[in-house]
Every structure is written in C-alpha cells, then in structure tokens.
Chain A
Amino acid sequence: MKSEICREQRLAEYVDGELSGIERLHVSRHLGECDACGAEAASLQRLGDLLRGVGQVNIAPAALAGLAGGVVSRVGAERALSWRALFDRAVEDWHWFLVGFGSVAAAFFSVTFVSAVLHFGPAPGREDSVSALLSNRDWQVVTSTQEGSLYVWATPIRGSDWRIALTSRERKEAAEIPTSVAGLETEQDLVAALGDALTGTGQPIDGRSMTPAMRLLTGALFDRLLELQNRQLQAPADAGDMRSLVYRLQFVTNTEVTAKGL
C-alpha cells in the first residue's frame, strides 16, 4: 500500500537534501519500510552520482588562460568608447575654452540682469535725498505732528541780494491766517516778516523750538510766499525772471534729518 510519502514524491527532495531534519527522519524511516520508495531513492541517487561523475569536466588550463585578460581589456575599451568617456576627453581638451566661454557668458548675463533691474526696477527711495524731499508727498504726515517743515531758502537768479524763503508745505486743514499776515502783499514784506518771525538772522530754526503762535505765523507767511511765487511763475516771460536759486535746504523732522549742500 502506497503511503503519503510515496504519493507526494518527496523522495527527490530527500535525495537532494532539501528536507528539514524532522522531515528527513520521517522519510528515512519510510524508506526502511517501503521497498518501492527505497528503490526509487536509490535510482535517483545513482542518476545523480552518474551526472556528477560525468559532469565534472577537467578544463584544460589553456582553455581559460586569456579569458580574464580579454574580458577586462574589452570592458576597458568599451568604457573608453562610451559617450561619457568621449565627453570627458572632449572636456579635458576644451576645458579652457569652456572656462572662457563660461566667464564671458556669466559676465554678459550679469550685466544684462543689472541693466534690466536698473531700467525696469523701482527707483531707490531715500527720504533724506533732495529728490525725495521735493517729491515725497508723505511729509504732510510729519507736519501734522508739528515736528516737520520743509524750508527752502533761496535768492533770485537775477534779483537783488535779499534772500527769500519758500516752502511747498501743504496743510491738511486750512489754518487760520493771522491778521498781521493778511496785509502783507509784496515778497519783500513777507520775507521781512518771516525773518522777524524766525530769528532775524536769516537762518532756519528747528520747528520744535517754535511756539504755536510762531509756527502758525511762519506757516501763514510761507503760504503767502508760495502763493506769490506761484503767481510769479505763471506770469508772462516779459514780467521778469523771478526764478530763484535754491542754495540751502533744511528739513526738520522728528529724527532731525538734514539735507544740505545745494
């Protein structure tokens, strides 16, 4: 009667040494009891021995003598012919050209980039620059704190030697004009009154040292001067050259930033 081992054909695995210890013991016991399986296992074993005996070929030493050298040299030759090797050699021969070309290209792109930034980029703003002082519309905020004013002291280009003070200060709210200013119509009168209101020395003073009455009076005088200056600038050319030469700017702010040297 055929056992489970006979049916499962585990004899090949037994002969091939593929069974675990307990399985091997199990099959080994079975071989002692089953003649058919014993004969089958012996047959498999004989076939294996025959194949191993025949299969072990004594290779002549000369047969493989040049194999390693040939393979390695061919691999080296193939590597030398590879695209990467060709590229490496090309780069090796041309590397100075590549370095020069790279430098020129880098300089070109850098100049192009900087030029583009300067041309299309935003203009740099410095609040203490003259252009910023003259064009910055935010300085009204400073004046509203009673801490800042833009004083422009100037003399006419072809005028007399008296100095005038101009301002382009704008006020958010219309201040009450002192009555003493209302009667002043000429520039000389306004400048004289402004000189009296300030220090009388012709030098601008810090807004913080001014009393509210002085500030109000000075502001009104500047407004009148600006109004008069605007009327003169809009007058016909034959009315005389009333343009002024600005020779000093002083901008008094909370941080006391000063621009000088015009």
Chain B
Amino acid sequence: MAVETFVKPLRALTWSDSASADWALVQQCAAGDEDACTRLVTDHQRMVYQLSLHLLGDPQEALDLSQEVFLRVFQMLPKFRGQSTLRTWIYRIVVNHASNRQRWWRRRRRAQQVPLDEQLATHGELAESRNFALPDRVLQQREVAGLVWRALNQLPFDQRAVIVLREIDGLSYEEIAMSLGVVVGTVKSRLARARENLREALRSV
C-alpha cells in the first residue's frame, strides 16, 4: 500500500516578533491614540467577524458581535499583560461573547434564525463560488456548503468553537486552549467529538 502522507502547512507563531508589536499597539491604544485604535480594529476585524459568523451563523449578529467584542477589547486593554498573543486574547473574548449571545439567542430568537447559506447570498459569498466554475458545479458547492453549515450549527457550542478555531482559523491546540480557557486535553477530546459528529452528519457528502 502506498504511503500517503498528510502534510499540513503550519502557521508559525513568531511570538517574539509579534509580541513587541502587539505590546506597542496595546500601549498606544491604552494611551488613547485613535490611529492605533483604528489600526487594531482593521488588523483584526476580519478575523473577529469571521469567527463570529462561524459561531453564530448570522451575518448581522456577527457584525453586532464584532462591534461588541472590540468595545470590550478596548475596555479590557489596560488589563492585557501579554501572557498570550493579542490575537489569541481577542479570540477568547469573541468566544465568550458568542457563547453568551448564543445562550440568549437560543432562549429568545431562535425561531427567527435565518440559515447562514441564505444570508451569505445577500451579505457575502463562499470562496468556492468565486472561481469560474460551471453553474451546476456552483450549485453543487452551495448545496454542500449548506449541508456543512447546518451540520456545524447542530453541534454544541463548545464543539463548534473548537472545530472552527482548529480547521477554519488554523489555531494550534495550545492557542485553542488559551482562547477557550481550557486545557489542551479538553481541546483534543472536544475536537474528537466534534469531528465524529460532523462525519456522521456529512456522511452523504
């Protein structure tokens, strides 16, 4: 049997390089420098919005959450001690706020939820649909995407958060652990359960 190797490109976390830049940016923002505040938001807004979208499944909710997250970031910025990267620290705020909003949403507005794939048709589009594929190919991709998003939305929040951070945002186990405030072992077990549930739900794909 041929040996098939899976080589996944690793995102190198150059802590020493990014830490000083993060720290300088944080200090400028804490001092009230509006340009630095704007830079912090623009540097991280896509990351925050995308994670919010993946966790909540609603573009408008994701935008609201992004704004809420950045306001919280600026409130908490004086307490940032550089124990993790700024990116990981912001991820943690996103996950906490998304979890809170998810609970509130589940109680009050779940019935009004619009599937993400429908929302994306108006607010954005999937990456695959941008290539110059044939129309039936595009339709098939959208159908698959819809299945995947529904499967993701059916996962418990903890499992969804860990699988999104791992597979879509590309965080390492340690970064995920810091973002979720859990130990690496918990990350592994949640990841295994999430993958199992997703494979079960996407068996037909």
Contact = CB atoms under 8 A, between A and B. Distances in A.
Q: By DSSP majority rule, is chain B's interface helix, strand, loop, or mixed?
A: helix
B167 interface: yes
Contacts of B70: 67, 71
B148 interface: yes
Nearest to B166: A16
A122 interface: no
Contact of B67 (A13, A57, A67): A67
Contacts of B199: 43, 47
Interface residues of B, number: 55
B67 A70 contact: yes
B118 interface: no
A59 B124 contact: yes
Q: In which size bucket is the chain A interface?
A: 35 or more
Interface string B108-126: 0000000000001001111
B1 A12 contact: no
Nearest to B53: A57
Q: Is the interface of A mostly helix, strand, loop or mixed?
A: helix
A59 B46 contact: yes
Contacts of B37: 71-72, 75
Interface string B178-196: 0000000000100110010
Contact of A72 (B2, B41, B166, B192): B41
B4 A68 contact: no
A67 B63 contact: yes
B25 interface: no
B127 A79 contact: no
Given A52-B167, A55-B54, A56-B168, 8 more contacts: A43-B199, A55-B168, A57-B125, A63-B49, A63-B124, A64-B45, A64-B46, A72-B38
11 contacts: A28-B5, A35-B1, A41-B6, A50-B202, A54-B126, A57-B53, A57-B127, A67-B63, A70-B67, A75-B74, A76-B34
